[in-house]
Every structure is written in structure tokens, then in C-alpha cells.
Amino acid sequence: MDLKSKIILISGPTASGKSDFAIKVAKKIGGEIINADSMQVYKQLKILSARPDPKKNRKVKHHLYGFQDVTKNFSTGNWLNLVIKKIREVQKREKTPILVGGTGLYFKALTDGLVKIPHISLKLRNQIRNLQKKLGQKKFYQKLLKLDRYSIGKINPTDTQRSIRAYEVKMFTKKSLHEWFKNTKSNFTDDDFFKVYIDYPRQELIKRINLRTRKMIENGAIKEVKKFIKLKVKKDKSAYKAIGVMEIKDYLNKEKDLEQIKEKIAIKTRQYAKRQSTWARGNMMSWIKLKPQDINKFLKKI
């Protein structure tokens, strides 16, 4: 299996071992790793984002990790502009770009292009979110299909995030989200990519998430959040969404004890992993699904 001429994409739910797998692939084919995780871009969130440590893997170059300040927002569009340039730089050095992360929107923007939808007011977005909560996902989804016939068969009925997005785009622009996508193109062709999704069994993944949560606390996550709080990051900034920030803040304010926040972080991480898996089922159907027990066999084939 010759992958040296491809752009390799590696995704999977949080705690599935994507970074370790990417390093093994990079060592075998002379690749360089590029970040595709929306929280690992922030320099002050090393522990909570489980950012890989390039110092431990000096033989493999890492790009777009820990460069953005948490006080500033960082969008999918920002990432796409940087990553296209970085892919070209890596290819010029005759190395293989290996993109690894769990942010589905990043991968979609890269492979399909980024849709330039007009800015939708926060007031309308909140109205639609409140409607979804009031109706519940099942009834809201049916309402979406009546509003936007192009969504039929294209959005998973349980995908709350995409359902809300499709609804608000249709309401605001009078044009289906899928019509916007249809007129959007990537800088690359589908043949340029080799796409792998690490598909971890749910119960095994839960054990890994629980273990990682404990290690994060042991390795200094509380100290990291203390520093984060001192920066007075506004709550509307993307970095505030990092799992662990609010939970540890509750601990520091003595609102919850250490065991309670460990459990809360683990629960939130499991919920996030479930959303990632839902996204993959709806948007990564063409990706190779790799079970953890098959990783070594896959590496031998390269």
C-alpha cells in the first residue's frame, strides 16, 4: 500500500489513540503531522486538549499545534487557510502530510471546501435552538424536512447539531444548506486523500476516556485552568468550550469536590465522543473504518 503521494487523514472519537497511530504512520512513510483538532490549536490548553508533545517525538515534525491564544476565536475558515498552505509546504519537501484530529468540520472543509454562508444573527440562532429544545429532536427533524426538502436523506435524524444548522440556514438565506454545499469546491480532488477513521468499540472507549480524565487531573489540568482563569477569557470565545474548563472552575470555586468534577469531565467527554461517532456515520461513510485490533495489520501493509 503506497501512501506517500497521498494526503492522509486520520480521525476517530476522542481518546481513540489517533495521535499515536499518526506518529507510527509518519515514521513508516516519512510523513509530517498536521493538527486537525479545534482545541489543540490553543497554546494554553495543552493538558485539557490532550495535545501531543512533539518533544517526545522529535523524529516526526508536528504543525499547527498550540499556536493560538485562548483570548481569540479561531474558526474553521482560519484553520483551512493555514492548513492548505501547510500541506503544500510539506509536499514541497517531498514529505507526506498526515492530518490527525477529531474535528469533523475541519476535515469536511478540507475535502469538500468551505461554504461561505452569510452571518446569521445570534437572536435567530437562539430562537431555533430553543425551538429544538421545546419540540425535541424527533419532531424538530420532521419540521426541518417540511421546511427544507433537500435535507431528506442527507442529515441523520439524531444529529441535533446539523439539523439546527440546516434549519437556521434555510430560514435566514431561503436557500438549503445542501444547495450552498453543492456550489462549494475543495482545493484538492478526492483522489488526493487517503482517509482512515479509528472505530473504537463503545465500552473500550469509555474505559480509555475515564483513564485519560484521571491522568489529566494528575498531570496538572487544575493548574492549567487556574492560568486560564487569570487570562479573563470571555465566555463567547471558542476556547471556553474546552471540556474541563467549567468543571474545574466549579472545583476551584468550591462548588464541587474533586471526584465530582472527574466524573463530570468523563461524562462530558463520553457525550462528545458519541457526537463524534454520530458525525462520522453521517459524514465519513467513504472513510476506511479501522478497528483497534487491526491497526498493526494495517501498518504492516504500508
Q: In this predicted model, what pLDDT tens digit does every residue of 163-192 receive, in sequence order?
A: 999 999 999 999 998 888 787 889 999 899
263, three cell numbers: 466524573
Is the predicted pLDDT of residue 20 greater than 80, yes or no?
yes
Q: What is the pLDDT of residue 224?
A: 98
The reported pLDDT for the residue numbered 178 is 85
Torsion of CA 221, 226, 227, 229, to 10 degrees: 120
Please, what's the b/e burial string for 42-62 (b: 16 or more CB within 10 A of its CB; e: otherwise)? bebbbbbbbbbeeeebeebeb
Give yes or no for residue 47 having a pLDDT over 80. yes
Residue 85 three-state SS: helix
The set of cell numbers assigned to 154 is 442527507
Name the nearest CA neighbour of 256 among 219, 211, 217: 217
Fold of the domain spanning 7-115+186-200+277-301: Rossmann fold (3.40.50)
Q: 3-state DSSP call for residue 237?
A: coil
Using CA atoms, how far apart are residues 39 and 210, in angstroms rounded to an integer? 19
- Give CA–CA dist 269/275, Å, rounded: 10
Write out pLDDT tens, residues 214-230: 999 999 999 999 999 99
Task: Reply yes or no on whether the pLDDT at 61 is more than 90.
Answer: yes
Domain range 122-182, CATH class: mainly alpha
Per CATH, the number for 203-276 is 1.10.287.890
State which amino acid sits at residue 257. D
Q: Could you state, in order of their start, the residue ranges of all structural domains in the chain?
A: 7-115+186-200+277-301, 122-182, 203-276
pLDDT of residue 79 exceeding 80: yes
